[in-house]
Amino acid sequence: MSRLSKILFILAVIVALGVIGYFIYIRFFASALPDGSLSPAAANDIPVDAKLPVVLKQLSAQPALRYWVNQKTNALYYASPDGKIYKTFGDGRDEAVSEQTLADLHDVTPSPDGARALASFNYPLRETFALFDTTTNSWERLPEDVVAAAFDPGSQKLAYLKNGLSSGLYVVTLGDRKTTQVLPLAVADGILAWQTANELLLFSRPTSRVRSEIFLIDLAKKIVRPIDDANSAMYAFLSTDLGLRFVVAGRADFELQLMDGTGRALNALPFLTLPSKCAVNATVLYCAIPASFPLRSELPDDYLKEKFFTQDSFVSYDIPTGATTLLPEIAAVVDADQLLVQDNKILFRNRIDEKVYSFEFRARATEESAESVGQ
């Protein structure tokens, strides 16, 4: 065999191995749809006029870590990854309302009315918290050793858990800054959600690596009791009476479940996504549904660490009837989280470029579309 023939033979073997490897990868290792997730083929039975792609409107000029809407002024605010606060009315003009650069910004949680926002920094080394006021565009730091905090449903109070010598659950009235210790309580880590006038929920941060827990804190009775004993890896409370939990039953066996406002499980949903990719408006749940998750990904950990991105479709789910509708196709590739529904618009943050977008939709709760999703 000549030198040229040997080279051609080697190249042919390399190409053949590459083709075989590609098909093995597609068959066994490529992204797969876990049970219950939305297949792109599910859109085939949607009426043709509902398939017309919708155009996104970019709302933020800069990347956003978190965004929120002031319900009083309808202005959109967002915190950039470097900790600056911007305000925009969605017309392409962004105004930096806080020039201060805040290092190691971890998360931002707005009050229900959007007039204030609670920011956390330096997690997990020594987490600190501060309040941002959109009226004065000023920051106010919370006491040392605070490990979790939450606004009340009326946006008039703030509850926080504090460790150290004076550990306990405290409630501060935001108007006069009057602070009261409700009960002694020491917590290493967790997330607070204030659900009703006298009830808060304390739950674990999202991970599949340890067993998650959720507790109800009764302010009137001053008691704490466990609620959830399922293997939930992620919680999200979308309103005072509705939440979602992502349940891990096995390495590739997941389920998304509805909860009531006290953390009690209601029913499983006919599609799969993460709770952070959903929002509720009245009795309708809206979610961004990934076309697939990587087969061997650790959920939700790998997603939250941005080890991969998803390509999403949007659905609406009517909670009383269970009817699921595929919304019009998005004319762009988006990986959506932080959904917010306003009338016939969905706002979201695209994790791919970290910008905030919105689009108009027309929900069609038809029998055809309800049957086509989740099959």
Give the helix, strand, coil percentages of the chain, each rounded to 5. 15, 40, 45
Tokens standing for 98?
Answer: 């806080």
Top-ranked range on mean pLDDT: pick from 198-212, 230-244, 255-269, 344-358: 344-358
pLDDT digits (tens, 9 = 90+) for 69-105: 999 899 999 999 988 999 997 666 799 998 777 778 9
How far is it, in rounded angstroms, from Cα 342 to Cα 370? Answer: 23
Instruction: Tell me the pLDDT of the chain averaged across its residues.
Output: 81
Highest mean pLDDT among 46-55, 83-92, 366-375: 83-92
Cα(260)–Cα(352) distance, rounded to whole angstroms? 32
Q: Could you give the C-alpha distances from 318 to 199, 220, 235, 326, in angstroms and in order?
A: 27, 34, 20, 12
Cα separation, 247 vs 234, in Å, equals 7
Alpha-carbon distance of 76 to 61, in angstroms, equals 12
Element (H, E) at 370: helix 367-372
Tell me the whole-structure pTM to 2 decimals: 0.81
pLDDT at 92: 66
Three-state secondary structure call for residue 26:
helix
| Cα(311)–Cα(367) distance, integer angstroms | 26
CATH topology of domain 38-372: Methylamine Dehydrogenase; Chain H (2.130.10)
pLDDT of residue 125: 77
Q: Which residue has the higher pLDDT, 125 or 293?
A: 293
67 or 35: which carries more pLDDT confidence? 67
Q: How many angstroms separate the CA atoms of 184 and 203, rounded?
A: 18
Q: Where are the domains of the chain?
A: 38-372
**Preceding amide of 112 cis, omega within 30:** no
Query: Rounded to 5 degrees, what are φ and ψ at 23?
Result: -70, -35
| Rounded Cα gap, residues 255 and 227, in angstroms | 19
Question: For residues 134 and 132, what is the distance between their CA atoms, to the nearest angstrom?
Answer: 6
